[in-house]
Amino acid sequence: MTVQAAEIPVLETKAVTKHFGALTAVNGVSLSVSHGIQSIIGPNGAGKTTFFNLLAGFLVPDKGSIFYRGKEITGLAPYEISQMGVGRSFQITSIFPNLSVFENIRVACQSRSKSRYNFFMSCEKLPGVQIAARKILSQMGLEDWADSPAKNLPYGLQRCLDIGISLATDPQILLLDEPTSGMSVEDSAVILKLIAEIAKLMPVVLIEHNIDMVLTISDRIAVLYQGLLLAEGTPAEIQGNQEVQKAYLGGY
């Protein structure tokens, strides 16, 4: 009889805790992500962004450990975690407003190129970078805007560019913090469709407030409440969970 090796999660936390003074923003959270869309939901101040900052190395946990493909990454610097393959976008758009849409993506791709420190080499001589940037531009539906300054993009497309910039760092897993914040329902639906496409290529951890969309798009959902992991499961399990109903979902 062959024994199947247990799947090693792409990203895993074990009892991760983060205090800010007297406040426990993240309290003993254990979560593992292997594939598809893992959403994180919870009310304002539940600890969602703090949890992302711990995963990406912007904060160091006070207790607990974090693993990337089975290798401990607790305490590593953000650039080290990013270079290992953990890509993230921020709750606030982080584009270069005066660079063109294409240049925004190209600069991010170049940061991963072996020639990135050869400042005297024209970027036209880095064909791999150009090709990668074009591919992401088309993946994000931004081809028509390639030469426009990024600041001229409508807000919804700025968020697409933001995700494109995260993809340009060649991630193996993508962390997206409220990619649809401030967007219309129609624009949000477009972004979430793009995210579903990306999730076919790599696992996506998604913080999202729109519960209807979360229930539709997610493979699994984690509910944070006052820093605690209240529940984790499939959309149906979360929707049927009494505690989640009481604490957060209310009318659902």
Ligand X SMILES: Nc1ncnc2c1ncn2[C@@H]1O[C@H](COP(=O)(O)OP(=O)(O)OP(=O)(O)O)[C@@H](O)[C@H]1O
Judged by CB under 6 A, does residue 22 bind ligand X? no
> Over the Cα atoms of the chain, what is R_g?
19
Nearer to ligand X, 26 or 160 (CB): 26
- 46 binds ligand X, rule: CB under 6 A: yes
Pick the closer one to Mg ion by CB: 27 or 139.
27
Please say whether the beta carbons of 60 and 75 come within 8 A: yes
Tokens found for residue 4:
């199947």
Does 45 engage in binding with ligand X (CB under 6 A)?
yes
- 122 binding partner (options Mg ion, ligand X, none; Cβ < 5 to 8 Å by kind): none
Q: Is the dihedral of CA 233, 234, 239, 240 positive or negative?
A: negative
User: x-or-dash pattern for Mg ion, window 31-60, by CB under 5 A?
Assistant: -----------------xx-----------
Residue nearest to Mg ion (CB): 49
The helix, strand and coil proportions of the chain, stated in percent and rounded to the nearest 5, come to 40, 25, 40
Stretch that binds ligand X, among 39-47, 132-140, 154-162, 195-203 (CB under 6 A): 39-47
Residues listed for the chain: 252
Stretch that binds ligand X, among 19-27, 75-83, 160-168, 244-252 (CB under 6 A): 19-27
If one asks whether residue 42 binds ligand X (CB under 6 A), the answer comes out as yes
How many residues form the binding site for Mg ion (CB under 5 A)?
2
Query: Rounded to the nearest whole angstrom, what is the least distance from the CB of residue 44 to Mg ion in the complex?
Result: 8
DSSP letter at 36 equals: S
Applying CB under 6 A, among 47, 64, 164, 171 the residue interacting with ligand X is: 47
State which amino acid sits at residue 16. Answer: V
Residue 72 exposure: Cα atoms within 13 Å on the Cβ side: 8
Residues 6+ positions from 233 with CB-CB distance below 8 Å? 220, 221, 241
From the list 42-50, 109-117, 194-202, 211-219, the region that binds ligand X by CB under 6 A is: 42-50
d(CA 55, CA 135): 27
> What are the distances in angstroms from CA 21 to CA 18, 24, 27?
10, 8, 13
List of residues contacting Mg ion (CB under 5 A): 48-49
List of residues contacting ligand X (CB under 6 A): 20, 23, 25, 42, 44-50
